[in-house]
Structures are given as structure tokens and as C-alpha cells.
Amino acid sequence: MRQGPLSGLKVVEFAGIGPGPFCGMLLSDLGADVVRIDRKGGGRGSPADITSRGRRSVALDLKNPASVETCLKLMEKADAVFEGFRPGVMERLGLGPEVALKRNPKLVYGRMTGWGQFGPYAQAAGHDMNYIAITGALHAIGTKDKPVPPLNLVGDFGGGALYLAFGLLAGVIQARETGKGQVVDCAMSDGAASLMAMFYGFKASGMWKEERRANMLDGGAHFYDTYQCKDGKWVSIGSIEPQFYALLLEKTGIKDPAFAAQMDRGQWDSLRTKLAEVIATKTQAEWTEIMGATDVCFAPVLDLDEAPRHPHNVARETFVEVAGVVQPAPAPRFSATPGRIQGPPPAIGAHDVDALTEWGFSKADIESLQASGALAAPATA
């Protein structure tokens, strides 16, 4: 029995990489029944493939007409479908939105790409860093010397998967109101640009300089930065508001009157040097004891081994262990219908029979697909 606020939502996912699997994980964690269409003959899956958790896998040969028809029948029964191929690929397979929406007018058809379905770059290859490069986001992140890729959090997952999940659910709400589905064109470049809304506002108001580490939120300010401790570990300090800044000075024992010029950009570099010298006198654990859980706006900078053991994360069960793999728990949290990890990452084709059966395919239908080669033949003893 699936658990979460999206229980009853039926989604078809065409297997891909990056933001597509992460979107599928988010939907599944909140209870959606996500059936993933995998390539027949693909790999076996791994417990470490965290973003593949919680769905069922049906492996099909999409060059086989019977497989294409199977996908269309699944779409007929789905609330939403999403894919992450280059524009035109699904149309060439006979699975594009025009065909799918004729079969199911209420279907919400999500298209996840880097550049979008149209535009000069639409057919070009790319990765997260490229997609955020044209939005202003990459230029704003890094050292004074060079932009630095912020993992693939801004494009793939923030600007891609989260916007796709948001778009699919918005489309489903609309379809349930009107009976009409639609296509969701989710470009990571669009999403990353949307994430930059506040910073474009800062620029328009004269609060943002087109220079890295020269602004309040990009490490330019001494009161919003990371600092190395005596033991080589790091802490984060974000004491923006005057009362929080005053507490920072109190907790660090700083009495230098120069620190009164908190918002004087011309003093930030020298004040950072002075603050760094103070932070370097104690270990990360000592500073955590002094400033942790206070209004300084402080937290230790933890690595991936340390983060699951932090007391706050332990108290909230932010991380869980499944099949020996430590991983983030479902988010966000719901008081009445909490989500959960619905199952481990599936082996490719592990649910050929039971998923299709549950979605309305008869035993004869499945045997016909196996006989045609569209679906793997049943294992023999």
C-alpha cells in the first residue's frame, strides 16, 4: 500500500538521467504510483541508485510496435507522464504528446530538457553547468578568480526536477478541474533563471554588483561566509541582521570598534581577515558549543559522512538507511499523510508482470507482449 499525499496519482516515467529520476523519486516518496519504462536488456539496478527508489520497472523494447502500444495504453491510464529526451525523440518513437493526448485528453505530459523544446540551443547537448551559465547563476557563484559549478543542484535538481514536479502537479490539478491535459515544457535553463529572481531584483535596485564575492550573499560580506577553524574544519556564519551580528561579536569576544561598520563594503575584506583570525583560534566543535543553536546564524560545515550524524538531523530523522545505503528521507513532511520511501531502487524489468497487471493488462495481454519480444519472456525453472 503506497503512502503519502499523492497516493492514487498514477505516473509513467521514461527512464533517463539526472533530473528525471530525481523528479520520479520526489513523486514516489509522496505516494504516487510511478511506473518507470526502462530499456529492455538494461542493467540490474543498485541500492546505491538512490534517485531510482520507490518505483516499479517495466522493461520494453521501444523499437517494437507492441512496446509502443503498451506505453500508450499505460498513458491512457495515467495522470501524468514525463520524459527527458532531446526534442523530437518521443515523436519519432510514436510516443509524442500529440499522440498521447489523443489517447488520454486529461494527460499531463512533462518534457524535461536542458534548453527547452525550442530555441537556438534546443538540439544541442549540454550539462547542468551549461544550462545555468546562460542565466546569470553560474557567473554569480564562485571565487573572485572564476565561476565555480555549484554541484548540479541549481540546474538539474533545483531548476529541473523540482520545477518538473511542480509543473506536473499543477497540470494535474488543472486537468481535474477542466478535463483537459497539456504539455509541460520544463527547461533547466528556464528553471535556473526563475531561481535567480531575487538576485535580478537586487540588481535592479542597485544592491548587486556584477562581481563575485562582492555582495552580501556570495561570500563578499565578512558576516556571511565560511571560516576555517583550528582543526582545519569549517563553520558557516550568516549574521546579517544587526541583532544577530551583535551576538556574533559577543560570542566571538570581538571588541574591535572597526566591526561597527558592518555594512561598509569597503571594510568587508579587512574585517573578514580579522574574523578569520579569531575563528582559527578554536576547533569546529568548540565554536559549535559556543554558537550552535543560537541566533548567531551559525552551523558547522559537515561532509557527507558527518551530516547524517548531526544531532539536529538525527532528531528529525532527516537521513535513513535502506538496504545498507544512507540516504535522505522523503521531504517535505505532512502531518496527516506522511510520505515514505516506497521501496528500494528496482532491478530493470522487475515489475513487468505485476505493474502491468495492476494497471489493467490481462494475462493474455502480457503473454502476447512476451511472445512478440516486446517484454522479456518469463524466467524458466
Residues taking part in catalysis:
127, 156
Amino acid present at 110: G
CA torsion 69-70-72-77 (nearest 10°) is: 150
For residue 111, the cross-strand partners are: 83, 185
CA–chain centroid gap for 213, Å, is: 26
Numbers of helices and strands, H then E, in the chain: 15, 11
DSSP for 28-95? HHTT-EEEEEEETT-----TT-GGGTT-EEEEE-TTSHHHHHHHHHHHHH-SEEEE-SPTTHHHHHT-
For residue 11, the cross-strand partners are: 34, 80
Nearest to 55 by CA among 350, 374, 357, 318: 350
For residue 187, the cross-strand partners are: 113
Q: Which helix (H) or strand (E) holds 315?
A: helix 311-316
The Cα–Cα gap between 64 and 328 comes to 38
What sign for the dihedral angle of Cα 168, 170, 173, 174? Answer: negative
Axis crossing angle, helix 19-29 with helix 162-178, rounded to the nearest 10: 60
Cell, residue 121: 540551443
The Cα–Cα gap between 375 and 208 comes to 56
Q: Name residue, grid cell 534548453.
A: 115
Q: β-strands 182-187, 298-301: how paired?
A: unpaired
Nearest to 216 by CA among 229, 203, 197: 203
Cβ atoms of residues 155 and 135 within 8 Å: no
